[in-house]
Structure 1
Amino acid sequence: MGDPHGVGIVGLGVISRAYLSTLAHHPRVRVVAVADLDAARASAAAATIPGAEAVSVERLLRHPEVATVLNLTIPAAHAEISSAAIDAGRNVYVEKPLTVTFPEARSLIDRASSAGVRVGCAPDTVLGTGTQTARAAIDGGLIGRPLSASAVMVTPGHERWHPDPDFYYAPGGGPLLDMGPYYVSSLVHLLGPVRAVIGAASRMRDARTVGSGPRLGQRIPVEVPTHVSGVLEHADGALSTLTTSFDGVTTTAAPIEVQGESGTLAVPDPNTFDGEVRHVALDGPGWRVLEPGAGYVAATRGVGLIDLVGADEARPPRASGEVALHVLDIMTALLRSAAEGRRVELTTTVARPAPVPLTPAQEWSR
């Protein structure tokens, strides 16, 4: 298979732990350098990764062994760090969302195309057996022609558990841009691209209270909508309804449900890789659980980067920058629709990524 693919990680916050548990010892990649604004945090992370060194961001972007930069910075820094990596001739895999604004994202993808490098973007959870088994069922005609879908995410807000939750309530944050990528990406994989949206949004309160860590009790401002609902018109005519909220407590609704002319699928939480896919048929005996039939088995964060490393001209990356650009177009159009009170047509489209065949853990993890 040749030498492992060299990866440099910028940003070593909470989410980096999940990526490192997959990538630090994966035989197809080698984490050669890490960087963070907090040099001590970078040094501590490097000490846990065989052969990795803690360096400045500038040094990492030009490190001779770094082929791909894994950008795990806060959303507001995504565009700057990813653009700098592209300018240095590196591939980029970035935590969601691709950037804070759609124009930044459009520029980033164009820049990568001109430079001849690849861009990948989270979420890669949709490559697991949950979403992929549901997709295989839809593609196989199990529910007949898909007519509609619903996607629902309701939580009381991340400040209850995150010690530094400010960015969730700053531009680029909020329930739609933070959690929406999981649900919207899954809908694109299941039902294809979206041509137009109608949205509505609200904000319950102007400040939140940090609920854990050294800043316990500190008040932080809320600058973005904290409840967003909308309708997505898919290019093939199906309609999806979407609700994302940091204002509620919980919900009993299925995370995603897809209705077809001859059956319905209940799809597991797209923030996870697996989970039960349930099916009920018209005039059938009731709900049944489908056996996993597609997807990366026992996948974990970082499988999207592994998928990118293995991509080629015949099979582009599945968690690609182009998909992330379309997803961001959908989400920002929803926010614009809510603000302007009108239906908004999208400026992008994308091909559904290639389906993931059922891939045992021992195959993708080595």
Structure 2
Amino acid sequence: MQCQICRNNSDKFYCANCIRTSPQLAMTLRFKLLTVQDENKRLNKKIDNILNVSMDKNGTQREDISAGERLLKTRMRRVNDLKMRKKNGQLKIRISNVSNSIDKKRMFIQKLKQHITDFHMSKINPVHQHKRIIREHRHEEDDERLKQVQIVLTKRQRQNIESLNQWFVINKTSSMDIPYTLLFQPVISTRTANKLPPGLVKNSIFTMFQYLKIRTTIQCTQLPYPTMKPSSLLLEEGQHDRDYILRDIVEMIDETVTESIVMWLTKLTINMVYLCQVNHNLPSQEHTDPVSLLEQFDVDGLFYSLYLGQLLPLTNKSQPNSYIKPTHSFQNMFDAITDLLED
């Protein structure tokens, strides 16, 4: 860098020799420096005033406040709120840690009291007391291992259910008649079972059964009605008691088709209600039965609620029943679905 007057090498804009030998230049620079200092003081005072208005804790309203000051005031309040939330969160964590420490100390005191009692008891029967201590210790270890396994199992089940939902491609549509699809085919309800072709209805019910069966396998449980057993008419024709495969059915008369669809929808509804209770989708303090759920949500609504895992808002209350077991009245559900299909 060079001096702008003598052009000698210098680390500043003007070298010290030129400033000393040029009073006019020194005075000019001095006045500029004083002007800059005054401007800095004025700006600092303005900033202080704006910050005082922005950080006003009394909440006083001023009419002469500018838009920028008002925006800054809003932002500063937001910053203060975030700081307060952070401080409250730290206090909650500290309180939780202190509470846990108190609980541990309380348990430790209880164990010490128990050891004192055991010590007095050991004088009577030391062998028996030693075995009891070992048994309690093993029981605590087993409980701890069981909790860890339960956490891992729950996480794995949740991941598998998410993969199952993605595999079956369950979507919501904009149609009023067919609001949901499963594997790109409509999810059947009592409103559409008589309007759609029987083959499409059977295929949809079969796919829903397969979804429920795989989900119960993931959750290590069993459906009340795990199979799509054919009606008695089909059994007389040589069908076996096994899962119903659609390609095994040949020509059937209309009455048999209607009877089979009603039977399948009945089993499907009871199975979905059972899974809803297993997954805690039903309020635990309220009692209802599959018939009331069917009237309120229909088959497709129950299936989609089970898929979402959301809590069902019940409106129809009834007396306690045993619908969670396969011993539930199958005929009541059968009659209800028949009535809905005839409407």
TM-score (norm 1): 0.21
Structure with the larger RCO, 1 or 2 (CA within 8 Å, 6+ apart): 1
Flag the structure with higher strand content.
Answer: 1
TM-score (norm 2): 0.22
Flag the structure with higher helix content.
Answer: 2
Which protein is bigger by CA-based radius of gyration?
A: 2
